[in-house]
Structure formats: C-alpha cells, structure tokens
Amino acid sequence: MKIGYPRRELTSNPSLMLARTLEAMTDRTPAILGASVLALGLMWVLVPPFPSTKVLIRSSWAALTQEFGIPQELPPEGAGRWHPAKSVVWKRSRGIAVWTLEAAWNKAPVDSGATPDMVSRCLLWEPHWWDAHFPCDAASMARVMASNNRWRGRESR
C-alpha cells in the first residue's frame, strides 16, 4: 500500500496541494527563523556602540562626557612604559559581550577642553573563561622629536 497522496488527487484538489505546501514550509520555518535570529543577534553584538577612535581622539573631555555620560575612573597600572595621569572607561553591555571605550590623558587635572592622548575601543566577552580575543581599535596623539639633520656633521668645519 502506498503512503501519501496520489499525484492525480493533488492536482485536482487545491486544498490538498495547499496542505502539502504548508507542510513543507513548516519544516523549514524553524531553521530559517533560528538562523535569522542568530544573525541579527551576532550583528547586534559585533557592531560597536561607540564611534571610531580616529574621530574620538579629537573630542574634548566635555564632548565625551556629554555624549557617553559619566565614565568610570581607572586606577593607575603598575607595570608598563606609559603611565597616563588620568584614564577613564565607558562600558556598554551587549548581553554576552561588553564594549569598552577607554580614554587617557598624559597631564592631570584634565580641563573640559582637553583632548585625550589615547583612545581605545575593545570588545570583551562576558564569560571570562572563554579566552577569545578580538582586536582593539586604538588611536593616540604623539609628538615626535627629530634632530635637525641639516647641521649634523658641520661642527668640525
């Protein structure tokens, strides 16, 4: 005995055709819906809530606090070559991840018009046991001291 609808009945009876079409659609719907939800969730996590660091390096302290609110103070780090005088961080949670925006100044106290010397934007996963690292986006202002090469070597003449 053959299971299913004979082909002749499917074409002659539109309601049976619709039932078969809906049955096929309901089999694929959870997979399509699940993939769409996963893609949207991943986009929500991976798109940063902060502007680019290249833009923020030119922003003043007043503009940063107006746009992102009151930051958290970071304690000075012990080891390292560069120790900023003032360092602050803003955090935005994305469920399983946290975006951080860190700004640092070489001179303290920082007045409202001072621009940061370094800005970084990082994505950190919330379960810290998962050791996945994403690259941080950073920008810094620097001053380069160059010698005057035009006079080099003329001292002995």
Given this model, what pLDDT does residue 155 score? 58
pLDDT of residue 27: 67
**Is 92 found in the same domain as 19?**
no
Q: What is residue 119's predicted lDDT score, i.e. its pLDDT?
A: 94
> What pLDDT is stored for residue 42 in this prediction?
85
- Which whole-number Å values give the CA distances from 54 to 4, 45, 51, 57, 121, in the listed order? 64, 21, 8, 6, 10
Residue 125 lies in a domain: yes
Whether 115 and 57 have beta carbons less than 8 Å apart is answered as yes
What pLDDT, on the 0 to 100 scale, is given for residue 52? 92
Domain extent for 13:
7-43
pTM: 0.67
Residue 28: the pLDDT is: 74
Identify whether residues 30 and 85 lie together within a single domain.
no
Q: How many domains does the chain have?
A: 2
pLDDT recorded at residue 10 = 47
In a domain, 145, yes or no: no
Q: Structure tokens of 98?
A: 């946290």
Going residue by residue through the chain, which has 157 residues, state the pLDDT in tens, using 9 for 90 and above: 556 555 555 456 666 666 666 666 666 777 888 888 888 988 888 888 999 999 999 999 999 999 999 998 877 665 556 678 888 999 999 888 889 999 999 887 888 899 999 999 998 887 765 666 677 888 988 777 776 666 656 555 5
Peptide bond into 109 cis (omega under 30): yes
Please, are residues 104 and 54 in contact by the beta-carbon 8 Å criterion?
Answer: no
123 found inside a domain:
yes
Q: What is the pLDDT of residue 82?
A: 66
Pair (78, 91) in one structural domain = yes
